Structure 1
Amino acid sequence: MKLGVFTVLFQQKPLEEALDYIAAQGLQAVEIGTGAYPGNAHCNPDVLLADESKLKAFKHAVESRGLTISALSCHANPLHPQKAIAQEAHDTIIKTVDLAQKLEVPVVNTFSGCPGDSDDAKYPNWPVAPWPPDFQEILDWQWANKVIPYWTETGKYASDRSVKFGLELHGGFSVHTPATLLRLREAAGDVIGANLDPSHMWWQGIDPVQAIQILGRAGAIHHFHAKDTSIDPINVNRYGLTDMQSYSNMLDRAWQFRTVGYGHDIKVWADIISALRLVGYDYVVSIEHEDGLMSVEEGFTKAVQNLQQVLIKEPLGEMWWV
C-alpha cells in the first residue's frame, strides 16, 4: 500500500509548494480536487484539457517529486433536482473523467448524488425510514428514475475511458452504505465502486472493518480515505447520530471528525489496514483532514505518523511456514 493525501487541505499553497511539502513528509501519492465541493485550486480541468503543454507540466510537477496521482476528486450532486446545479456537477464529473484518462489516473472520486422527491422538487430528499410508506415510495422512485439511469450512462462513459468511479459513502446521498453501493454496482456495473471513508461509517453506526469485508469480497473498493470520527457518549443520547448541528459546534455535537488516531486507537486502525490487505486492496490510503481541533499541518502530520506505524507497505510474500 501507498500513503497519500487529499491535497485540498493545502489549497492555499501553490501546487508545487504543496507537492514539495507532501513529498518531504514521505508520502507517495496525492488525490487532487478538480472542482465542485473540493474546488480546483490545484487542478482546473478546463485549463489542462485545453492546453497540452500545461497538462504535461502538471503531470511533471507530480511525477518529478516521486508522487503518483491516486484519484481526481470532484464530489458533487449530479442528481440535484435543480437542473442547473445538477448540470454543473455532471459537467465537472465528465471533464474530470476526460482528464483522468489523459493523466492515466484510474479513479475519479465523487458522490452518488441525491435527487428530490419528484421532477418538480427544488431540494434533495434523503429518505432514512421505510414508514410511513411515503418514504419508501420516494426511495423507489429515486432509484428507478434517477440514480440507476444516471450512473448506468455516466458509468459507461467512464468505463469506455478506462476510468472507475469511487463513490464516497456519505450520509445525505443515495449511496451511503455498503448495501446501497452494491445495489448501484449491480445495476450499473463494476465501474462503480467505493471511495471508502471509515469516518462516515462510524457516525452511521457501521463498523469500517466489516464494511471493508463486505465491499472487498465484491472487489468494490476503488479508493480509500483515512479519516477518523469521535462519538460523544453523552451528546449522542441527546442529538442522535443524525445530529444536524453545525460542525463548528464541537462541544455539543454528537460526533465530530478527527485526524487518524484521535477518534479510534492505533489497534483499530491496524485492524482496518489489515482488513484492506485481507480483501486484496493494495492501493492508496489517502489522508483527509477535517479535524476542527487541529491545524492543517498538525492534523496532517499526526495522521502521517500514526498511519506509518500500521501501513502494510511491502508486497505479500509466500507463507514460508505453510
Structure 2
Amino acid sequence: MKLGVFAVLLAQKPLEEALDYIKAQGLDAVEIGTGGYPGNAHCNPEALLADESKLKAFKQAVDSRGLTISALSCHGNPLHPQKAISGDHDKVLRQTIELASKLGVPVVNTFSGCPGDHEDAKYPNWPVAPWPNDYQEILDWQWTNKVIPYWSEIGKLATESNVKIGLELHGGFSVHTPATMLRLREAAGEAIGANLDPSHMWWQGIDPVQAVQVLGRAGAIHHFHAKDTSIDPVNVHKHGVTDMQSYAQMLDRAWQFRTVGFGHDMKTWADIISALRLVGYDYVVSIEHEDGLMSVDEGFSKAVENLKQVLIREPLGEMWWV
C-alpha cells in the first residue's frame, strides 16, 4: 500500500509548493481536485486538455518529485435537478475522465449525486425511510429514471477510457452505503466502484471493517480515504446520526469529523488496513483532513504519523510457516 493525501487541504498553496510539502511529509501519492465541490485550484482539466505544454508541465511537476497521482477528484452532483448545476458537474466529470486517461491515472473520484423527486424539481430529495410509501415511490423513480441510466452511460465511458470511477459513499446522495454501491455497480458495470471513506460509515452506524469486507469481496473498492469520525455519546441521543446542525457547531453536534486516530484508536485503524489487505486492496490510502479542532498542518501531520504505524507497505511474502 501507499500513503497519499487529498491535496484540496492545500488549495491555498501553488501546485508545486503543495507537492513539495506533501513530499516532505514522506508521502507516496497525491489525489488532486479537478472541480465540483473540491474546486480545481491545482488542476483545471479544461485548460490542461487544451494545451499539451501545460499538460506536460503538470505531469512533470508530480513525476519529478517521485509522487504518483492516485486519483483525480471532482466530487459533485451530476444528477442535480437544476440543469445549471448538474450540467456543470457532468461536464467536469467527463473532462476529468478524459484527463485521467491521458495522464494514466486509474481512478476518478466523485459522488453519485442525488436527483429531485420529479422532472420539474428544484432541489435534490434524499429518501431515507421506507414509510410513508411516498418515499419508496420517489426512490424507485430516481433509480429507474436518473441514477441507473446516467451511471450506466458514465460507466461505459470510463471503461472505454481505461479509468475506474470511485463513488464516495456519502449521506445526501443516492449511493451512500455498501448496499447502494453494489446495486449501482450491478446495473452500471464494474467500472463503477467505491472511494471508501470510513468516516461516513461510522456516522451512519456501519462498521468500516465490515464495509471493506462487503465491498472488497465484490472487487468494488477503487480508492480509499483516511478520515475519522467521533460520535458524541450525549448529543447523539438528542440529535441522532442525521444531525442537521452546521459542522461548525462542534460542541453541540452528534458527531464530527476528526483526523485519523482522534475518533477511533489505532487498533481500529489497524483492523481497517488489515481488512483492505485481506480483500486484495493494495493501492493508496489517501488522507482527507476535515478536522475542525486542528489546523491543516497539525491535523495532516498527525494523520501521517498515525497511519505510518499501521500501513502495510511490503508485498505479501510466502507463508514460510505453512
Percent of aligned positions that are identical: 82
SS across alignment from 2:96 = helix
Note the C-alpha offset of 1:266: 0.4
SS across alignment from 1:200 = helix
| Aligned equivalents of 2:21, 2:88: Cα separation in 1 | 32
After TM superposition, which residue ranges in structure 1, 4 or more long, deviate above 3 angstroms? none
- 1:113-132, aligned counterparts within 5 Å? 113-132=113-132
Note the C-alpha offset of 1:59: 0.4
SS across alignment from 1:194 = strand
- State the one-letter code of the partner of 2:268: V
- State the one-letter code of the partner of 2:167: L
In structure 1, the residue matched to 2:74 is 74
| Aligned equivalents of 1:177, 1:111: Cα separation in 2 | 12
- 1:154-173, aligned counterparts within 5 Å? 154-173=154-173
- 1:249-260, aligned counterparts within 5 Å? 249-260=249-260
- State the one-letter code of the partner of 2:23: A
- 1:1-322, aligned counterparts within 5 Å? 1-322=1-322
| Aligned equivalents of 1:14, 1:81: Cα separation in 2 | 34
| Aligned equivalents of 1:62, 1:282: Cα separation in 2 | 21
| Aligned equivalents of 1:193, 1:13: Cα separation in 2 | 31
| Aligned equivalents of 1:155, 1:122: Cα separation in 2 | 26
| Aligned equivalents of 1:86, 1:159: Cα separation in 2 | 22
Task: For residues 219-268 of structure 1, give each alpha carbon's deviation from its aligned partner in whole angstroms, at most 9, with x where no partner exists.
Answer: 00000000000000000000000000000000000000000000000000
| Aligned equivalents of 1:69, 1:248: Cα separation in 2 | 31
| Aligned equivalents of 2:93, 2:155: Cα separation in 1 | 11
Q: Which runs of 5+ in 1 are unaligned?
A: none
Calculate the TM-score normalised by the size of structure 2: 1.00
Q: Which runs of 5+ in 2 are unaligned?
A: none
| Aligned equivalents of 2:78, 2:309: Cα separation in 1 | 38
| Aligned equivalents of 1:100, 1:138: Cα separation in 2 | 34
Note the C-alpha offset of 1:83: 1.1
Note the C-alpha offset of 1:46: 1.1
Note the C-alpha offset of 1:293: 0.1
Note the C-alpha offset of 1:158: 1.1
- State the one-letter code of the partner of 1:29: A
Note the C-alpha offset of 1:165: 0.2
| Aligned equivalents of 2:203, 2:197: Cα separation in 1 | 11
- State the one-letter code of the partner of 2:125: N
